[in-house]
């Protein structure tokens, strides 16, 4: 595993930001850490990068305790964040020239290619750039030295669709050379390319698995009844986001199998006209999990 955490805990002013988080990020591919705002994604990333120290638990990167990472190992890690600070008084070219000195693996030909692909103005001061252009500078700086691991914290937040598409296309062109660990709410951008996914909620990692395994066990289900539909009194725990519209009951089944669904449906209901089952995307899984959490927290 290129990243491994064991039972990470972290609190801020009495708030438990991380509660026993154990991640396993395999080398290669794109691992997406998803979850609602305040779930602990940024704290997890800062702990992995040794920016924040956990109260308990352990982090390994490249098989090395994160507290003992050497400069040579940090030089193999790229980092891009929505809140990343860049030297605003420097021009784009001056910023990259400054960073170039710190990385023996810096590829000037790749730097020029990225500058051209992103249409970055070399002489423009960074503080005069739009948010999208600053993110392009940050990604250029992170990719130019060909890191073994690229860590990205909400890289697409606040960007217009065209800029998000440009960033994602460039990232995918180079993703085969590295492992990408990304937290993001822009699930449409990362779903097609994600190979592993972890879901964090209130500081707890509820699951992590390959995208193929997750999509295999998640289905959108629509049950049509002869009469008006109603919510079951005690639905199975893997049925999320149950809604009723007329004679149709809809939900997302995150523990799907044909046999278990058929058994549950026929034990709970009668007067069924049709049961329709469809694949469901990562965004729908995420929103179903988030709504289920909100419904549990809402006063009855």
Average pLDDT estimate for 258-271:
92
Count Cβ atoms within 10 A of the Cβ of residue 124 and give its class: 0-12 exposed, 13-18 middle, 19 or more buried. middle
Cα 203 from chain centre: 14
Contact 71, 105 (CB under 8 A): no
Residue-level pLDDT at 193: 82
pLDDT band at 190 (very low <50, low <70, confident <90, very high): confident
**pTM of structure:** 0.85
pLDDT by residue (tens digit) across 103-125? 999 999 999 999 999 999 999 99
Where in the chain are the domains?
3-210, 219-280
- The pLDDT > 90 percentage for the chain reads 64
Closest CA to 37 of 239, 205, 237, 200: 200
Average pLDDT estimate for 42-65:
93
Q: What b-and-e string marks burial along 184-205, b requiring 16 or more CB atoms within 10 Å of the CB?
A: bbbbebbbebbbbbbbbbbbeb
Residue 119, helix vs strand vs coil? coil
pLDDT band at 299 (very low <50, low <70, confident <90, very high): very low
Lowest mean pLDDT among 66-70, 245-249, 282-286: 282-286
Residue-level pLDDT at 294: 64
Does the pLDDT at position 191 exceed 80? no
Residue-level pLDDT at 300: 46
* Angle, CA 134 vertex, CA 131 and CA 135 arms, to 5°: 90
Cα 129 from chain centre: 26
Average pLDDT estimate for 266-282:
91
pLDDT by residue (tens digit) across 29-53? 899 998 888 889 999 999 999 999 9
Contact 225, 269 (CB under 8 A): yes
Does the pLDDT at position 256 exceed 60? yes
Does the pLDDT at position 137 exceed 90? yes
A 10 A CB-CB count for 69 gives 19
Contact 18, 8 (CB under 8 A): yes
* Residue indicated by tokens 């503080």: 127
Residue-level pLDDT at 222: 96
What is the DSSP code (8-state) at residue 125?
Answer: B
What is the DSSP code (8-state) at residue 202?
Answer: T
Helix (H) or strand (E) holding 69: none
Q: Is 3-210 CATH 3.40.50.300?
A: yes
| pLDDT, the chain, mean | 89
pLDDT band at 295 (very low <50, low <70, confident <90, very high): low
């Amino acid at each position: 595993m290129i990243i491994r955490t064991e039972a990470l805990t972290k609190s801020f002013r009495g708030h438990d930001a991380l509660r026993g988080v154990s991640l396993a990020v395999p080398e290669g591919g794109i691992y997406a850490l998803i979850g609602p705002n305040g779930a602990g994604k940024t704290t997890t990333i800062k702990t992995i990068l040794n920016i924040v120290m956990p109260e308990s638990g352990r982090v390994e990167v490249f098989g090395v305790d994160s507290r003992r990472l050497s400069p040579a190992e940090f030089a193999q890690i790229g980092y891009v964040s929505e809140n990343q600070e860049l030297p605003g008084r420097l021009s784009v070219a001056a910023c990259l020239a400054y960073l170039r000195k710190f990385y023996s693996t810096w590829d000037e030909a790749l730097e020029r290619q990225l500058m051209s692909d992103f249409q970055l103005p070399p002489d423009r001061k960074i503080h005069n750039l739009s948010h999208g252009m600053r993110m392009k500078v940050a990604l250029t700086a992170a990719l130019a030295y060909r890191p073994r691991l690229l860590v990205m914290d909400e890289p697409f937040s606040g960007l217009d669709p065209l800029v998000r598409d440009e960033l994602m296309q460039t990232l995918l062109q180079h993703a085969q050379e590295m492992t990408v660990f990304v937290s993001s709410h822009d699930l449409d951008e990362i779903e097609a390319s994600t190979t592993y996914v972890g879901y964090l909620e209130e500081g707890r990692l509820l699951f992590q698995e390959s995208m193929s395994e997750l999509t295999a066990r998640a289905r959108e289900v629509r049950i049509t009844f002869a009469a008006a539909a109603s919510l079951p009194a005690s639905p199975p725990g893997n049925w999320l986001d149950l809604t009723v519209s007329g004679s149709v009951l809809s939900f997302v089944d995150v523990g799907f199998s044909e046999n278990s669904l058929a058994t549950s449906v026929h034990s709970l209901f009668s007067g069924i006209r049709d049961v329709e089952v469809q694949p469901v995307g990562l965004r729908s899984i995420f929103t179903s999990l988030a709504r289920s959490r909100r419904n549990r927290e809402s006063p009855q």
